[in-house]
Amino acid sequence: MATHTDKAYEAELRSLREKLLEMGGLVEAAISSSVRAIVERDTALAEGVKTKDREINRMEVAIDGACRRILALRQPAASDLRFITTALKIVVDLERMGDLAVNVAERALDLNRAPPLAPNHDLAKLADLAEAQLKKALDAFVTGDVGKAEVVMRGDELIDALYLKVFNDMIVLMMEDGKNIRRATSLMFAAKHLERFGDHATNLAEMVVYMVRGTDIRHPRSRQGS
């Protein structure tokens, strides 16, 4: 595959890609730790997630700056342009996903102050799915694989379904015993955060399709009206 004649430019683009993947890895670790903090009732882990979020935010700023620099100095065109504009958007989603991980960690802290509820396997499964969506979306981004991106987009249905199940389970718990309400609500919120996490991963996948194909496939239903 041809590389840019200007090696410095080639290096800048490569560095940007690496930074994005690094940030994605941090977010993956964050969501994984935050759910473990709930399941294993690990307060220290939850605190750790909150501290590490600062690193994620720093990376957002750094990546934004790198993108702006390339735009100003290199006038990127075609695939390079699509890559940069995608990177600018991906970074927003990743940062939000990091915030969602922090939200889940806060639910963990809250839950750990009270005696444990019956373990909900579906929540753990939801977490695994959400984390897997992010991993697959980042993979699609790195390899430019539209097929993988489409798998992610289809997988969002499963996450929604699982979230609904957890939601209903929590409702049942709350109806069973009023003392459960506070803790069930926390878990419900955690599940919601994970469902949103999955949505962001789907966004990422849609942007990968634009980056590779050059066609904007977002909001298909809104388009038809125009």
Both tokens assigned to 5? 């004649």
Map the footprint of another protein across residues 82-101, applying CB under 8 A: 82
Position among 29, 62, 81, 217 found at the interface with another protein (CB under 8 A): 81
- Overall size of the chain counted in residues: 226
Position among 16, 32, 76, 130 found at the interface with another protein (CB under 8 A): 76
Residue 76 vs 198, nearer CB to another protein: 76
204 neighbors 218 (Cβ within 8 angstroms): no
Q: Say which residues have a Cβ less than 8 Å from residue 42's Cβ, sequence separation at least 6.
A: 36, 108, 112
Question: At its nearest, how many Å lie between another protein and the CB of residue 19?
Answer: 20
Residue 83 vs 197, nearer CB to another protein: 83
Instruction: Kindly determine how many residues on this chain lie close enough to bind another protein according to the rule CB under 8 A.
Output: 19
Is 3 an interacting residue with respect to another protein (CB under 8 A)? Answer: yes
Task: Based on DSSP, count helices (H) and strands (E) in the chain, helices before strands.
Answer: 7, 0
The DSSP secondary-structure symbol of 180 reads: G
**Interface characters, 125-144, with another protein (x: CB under 8 A):** --------------------
Is 6 an interacting residue with respect to another protein (CB under 8 A)? Answer: yes
The DSSP secondary-structure symbol of 217 reads: -
Position among 44, 72, 78, 118 found at the interface with another protein (CB under 8 A): 78
In 3-state terms the chain splits into helix, strand, coil percentages (rounded to 5) of: 85, 0, 15
Is 17 an interacting residue with respect to another protein (CB under 8 A)? Answer: no
Question: At its nearest, how many Å lie between another protein and the CB of residue 85?
Answer: 9
Q: Say which residues have a Cβ less than 8 Å from residue 93's Cβ, sequence separation at least 6.
A: 200, 201, 203, 204
The DSSP secondary-structure symbol of 215 reads: -
Both tokens assigned to 207? 């942007």
DSSP of 57-68, one letter per residue? HHHHHHHHHHHH
Is 167 an interacting residue with respect to another protein (CB under 8 A)? Answer: no
Position among 80, 122, 139, 150 found at the interface with another protein (CB under 8 A): 80
Is 4 an interacting residue with respect to another protein (CB under 8 A)? Answer: yes
Q: Which residues bind another protein (CB under 8 A)?
A: 2-6, 9, 75-82, 213-215, 224, 226
